[in-house]
Amino acid sequence: MGTDLHAPLGRNRKTGSRRPGILRLGRIAASLCLFAIGGFSLYTAFRGDELERTKPPAAEQAATPPANAPQPPTATTGQAADGMPRAEPRSGANVEQMVTGDGSVVTKYSPRPRDGGGPVLVDAMQIGQDPRMAAQPNDALLEETPFGRLPIVGPDGRRPMDQYARPSSGARGVRIAIVVSGLGLSQTGTQRAIAELPEEITFAFAASGNSLQRWMQEARRGGHEILLQVPLEPFDYPANDPGPETLLTTKPAARNIENLHKAMGEITNYTGVMNYLGGRFLSDPAAMEPVMRDIGKRGLLFLDDGTSAQSKTAAIAKGTELPYAFADLQLDGQLDINAVLKKLDELERIARKNGQAIGVASAFDESVDAIAKWSEEAAMRGIEIVGVAALSNDPKNP
C-alpha cells in the first residue's frame, strides 16, 4: 500500500501556516485588564476627595430649635443624708437638633457636665412619687428632730400633701373619699383592711398603734393615701381616754405641740392629720389655733371626722391657711354589713347632690366587707373614689 506501517503516528505530517494561539491572546487580554484596574486604583487613591458624595446643604448646619421649645434646666447637685451627691431629676441633658435633607429632625442627647466625680443619686421623687417607691419617704420633705423625722415643706415649695397624695383623674364627675381609720390598733384588723380594700381607699393610722412603720409601708405599696390620727381631748375625758400624750385644752400650747410632734414622728408618707376623738379640743379655738398652724406650716392637711357639732375647724383653718376637709358621714355607727351599705348609699346621694363627699369608718370586719363590696360597684355608676387630699379645701389651690 506504499505506507510504512512501522512509522510513528503523526510523523512526516505536512506543516502549513498557523494562526495566533487562543491561549496567547487570553494572556494578553488579562494583562491589559490588570493594568487598567491598577491604574484606576492609583487614581482613586490620590483623587478620592473628588469622589466623596456631596452632602445636602441642609444637613451641614445644625437647625436652630424652635423659640417655644422647652429648654432643659441646668444640672444641680445636692447632698443626700448618706453623703452621696443627689441630682435633681430635672437636671436634663445637652440637646442638639439636626435637620436632614428630607426635612426630618434628628435629636442628639449628651450628658451635662457636673461638679465633682463619683456616682450621683437621681432623686426621682421630686417630680412625683413612683408607685414602686411609695413606701419610701422623700428626704427633702423631712427634718430631723428629737421626736423623729417630721414632715416639712421642701426647698422647692413641694408639700407632703402633694407628694404623697393619691393621683385623681381631675374629672368633674361625682367623687367620693372613704377613710378607714384606727389602723395599727388591731394587728388582724389592720392586716385585713390592707389585704382586702381597694387602693382607692384612704387609710388613717392611729399614732398609738403598733408596728406602724411596717403597716404604713404595706399600705403605700398597695397604692393607698394615708393619714395620721392624733388623739385629741373628748368631752368626757378622762373617762373616755384617747391614749397617752393626748392633746388637752388644759395644757399649754408648747406641750400640745410637743405631743403633736411625738405623734408625727411615728410614721412618714402621710398627707395630713385626722382627729382621734377630740370633741372638746376641736371646740376650743385657743387650744386649736397653734396646733392647726403647725400642721399647715408643715404642708399637711387636716381632716375633721365630723362627729363634733361644735367643731371650730373651718374657722381656724381659714385663719391659718390650713388645707382642711370635713367628713360628711360616719359609716359604721351600727356594726352590721347591711347598715354600712345603706350608709354608703346615703354617702353617694350626698356626693351626687354636692359633687363630692367624704365617709369615715373604722377597721371593723363588717365595715371592711361592706366597703370592699360597695367599691366594686361604684365605678359602674360613674363614681370616682379618690384620696382625701383631692377633696380638701386648699388655700393654695382654690
Q: Which residues of 135-159 are buried (b: 16+ CB within 10 A; e: fewer)?
A: bebbbbbbeeeeebbbbbbbeeebb
For the ranges 64-68, 127-131, 364-368, the lowest mean pLDDT is seen at: 64-68
What is the pLDDT averaged over residues 291-296?
98
Q: Please give the pLDDT value at position 170.
A: 82
What fold does the segment set 139-391 form as a domain?
Answer: TIM Barrel (3.20.20)
pLDDT digits (tens, 9 = 90+) for 39-49: 655 555 455 44
Q: What is the mean pLDDT of residues 244-266?
A: 97
pLDDT digits (tens, 9 = 90+) for 90-125: 444 455 656 666 655 565 555 555 555 555 554 444
What's the pLDDT at 165? Answer: 96
pLDDT in the model for residue 97: 57
Greatest mean pLDDT among 61-75, 83-97, 191-205 lies in 191-205
According to the model, what pLDDT value does residue 232 have? 98
pLDDT at residue 264 in the model: 98
- Listed by start position, the domains of the chain span 139-391
- pTM, to two decimals: 0.70
User: Does the pLDDT at position 89 exceed 50?
Assistant: no
Q: Is the pLDDT of residue 387 over 90?
A: yes
pLDDT of 277 higher than 70: yes
Residue 37 has pLDDT above 60, yes or no: yes
pLDDT of residue 29: 62
What does the mean pLDDT of the chain come to?
81
Task: Give the model's pLDDT for residue 194.
Answer: 98
